[in-house]
Structure 1
Amino acid sequence: MNIVCIAWGSLIWEPGPLKLASDWQPDGPALPLEFVRDSDDSAELALVLHAPAPPMPTRWARLDAAGLDDAREMLRRREKIRPEYPQWVGSLPDPVPPGLSAKTPAAIVACIADWMATRDVDAVVWTALPAKFAGVSERAPSPHEAVALLAALQGDERTRAEEYVRRIPGDIRTLYRGVIEERLGWTPHQ
């Protein structure tokens, strides 16, 4: 079974427990992305799917997985998603575990399905974590709030948050990234 993972953030440089069967390829589907998730276990402001944002380039890699359930579990563990939130791991052909509502909007799932149809791919997984700010799930910060959060960080937290933003591929040019670069000088690594 040909299973791939779509990525746009730290999965690219820190795949962790994901067993990659190929290098990351630059021609993933264009998906709406923005820096709108206050990370659960660090000070970074994570880049996540965000339907109001314009489409951005993504990466993809083949996974060495026994099946779709194995691929979903690898991604769940890598993203530290608690088992009670399986809907935060998106997948096709089965986008939502039975009895749960999807976290990935239907238009984004359709975009991924269209991309999938142009590849020799049987299944796809992706991170479907929602926006989160100030402890409120599905609340996206404004660009001003995002920059204020990052600007207030100090020491190792600030260093880690800056490194995260700077390591995001340079072709992902979100609105918030532009504001972060302008106000904090956190430009992409070359």
Structure 2
Amino acid sequence: MKIVCIAWGSLIWEPGPLRLASSWRPDGPLLPLEFVRDSDDSDELALVLHAPAPPVPTRWALLDTADLADAREMLRAREKIRPTFPQWVGSLPDPVPPGLPAPTPAAVAADIAAWIRTRDVEAAVWTALPAKFAGVSERAPSAHEALAYLDGLAGDARAHAEAYVRRIPADIRTLYRGLIEDRLGWTSAN
């Protein structure tokens, strides 16, 4: 089975334990993404799936495994997702373990499934972490809150958050990214 990983953020430049069998390619599925997740281990606002956002380009790479469970585990380990939240690793087929809520909206999963059919692959994995702001899971910050949060960072925390935004590929143009560039001057480094 040929399995790909779909990515849009730090997986692209820091794949960690993901065993990639190809380089990242720029023609991934168009997905709704936004900077709406407080990172668990840094001060950045991470780019995650966010159904209200307009779709933007993503990247994909072939994984060096033919086992979907192995692909899911590689991504879970890379994203430091606790084993108690397996649904935060999206995959097709088998998007969610039985009995768990699906964090990837059905329409987004359908778009990924349609994209898979246009490639010579049988399966895909992606990060399905929900929005989180001010410690509240599934709460997305407004554009004003996101800008105020980022603008309020100082020192190393601000430098890290800025580097994260700048490293996101330039063609991933979200509403918040445009505002961050306009207000904070954090333009793409690539």
Aligned to 1:186: 186
Partner AA of 1:155 in structure 2: G
Aligned to 1:145: 145
Displacement of 1:66 in angstroms is 4.2
Which TM-score applies when normalising by structure 2?
Answer: 0.99
TM-superposition CA deviations, 1:13-32 (whole Å, max 9, x none)? 00000000000000000000
Secondary structure at 2:75 match in 1: helix
CA distance in 2, matches of 1:48, 1:175: 13
Secondary structure at 2:19 match in 1: coil
* Unaligned ranges ≥5, structure 1: none
Partner AA of 1:109 in structure 2: A
Displacement of 1:3 in angstroms is 0.5
TM-superposition CA deviations, 1:110-147 (whole Å, max 9, x none)? 00000000111111000000000001111000111001
Aligned to 1:39: 39
CA distance in 2, matches of 1:136, 1:187: 28
CA distance in 2, matches of 1:32, 1:127: 13
Which TM-score applies when normalising by structure 1?
Answer: 0.99
CA distance in 2, matches of 1:130, 1:38: 10
Q: Are the counterparts in 1 of residues 95 and 102 from structure 2 also a CA contact under 8 Å?
A: yes
Q: Are the counterparts in 1 of residues 3 and 66 from structure 2 also a CA contact under 8 Å?
A: no
TM-superposition CA deviations, 1:48-69 (whole Å, max 9, x none)? 0000000000000000124000
Secondary structure at 1:32 match in 2: strand
Aligned-residue CA RMSD (Å): 0.6
CA distance in 2, matches of 1:149, 1:80: 23
Secondary structure at 2:91 match in 1: strand
TM-superposition CA deviations, 1:59-103 (whole Å, max 9, x none)? 000001240000000000000100000000000010011111101
CA distance in 2, matches of 1:65, 1:171: 29
Partner AA of 1:151 in structure 2: D
Secondary structure at 1:60 match in 2: strand
Secondary structure at 1:87 match in 2: helix
Q: Are the counterparts in 1 of residues 2 and 123 from structure 2 also a CA contact under 8 Å?
A: yes
Secondary structure at 1:70 match in 2: helix
Aligned to 1:103: 103
Aligned to 2:177: 177
CA distance in 2, matches of 1:132, 1:162: 19
Aligned to 2:73: 73
Q: Percent identity?
A: 79
Q: Are the counterparts in 1 of residues 3 and 63 from structure 2 also a CA contact under 8 Å?
A: yes
Aligned to 1:118: 118
Aligned to 1:89: 89
Secondary structure at 2:4 match in 1: strand
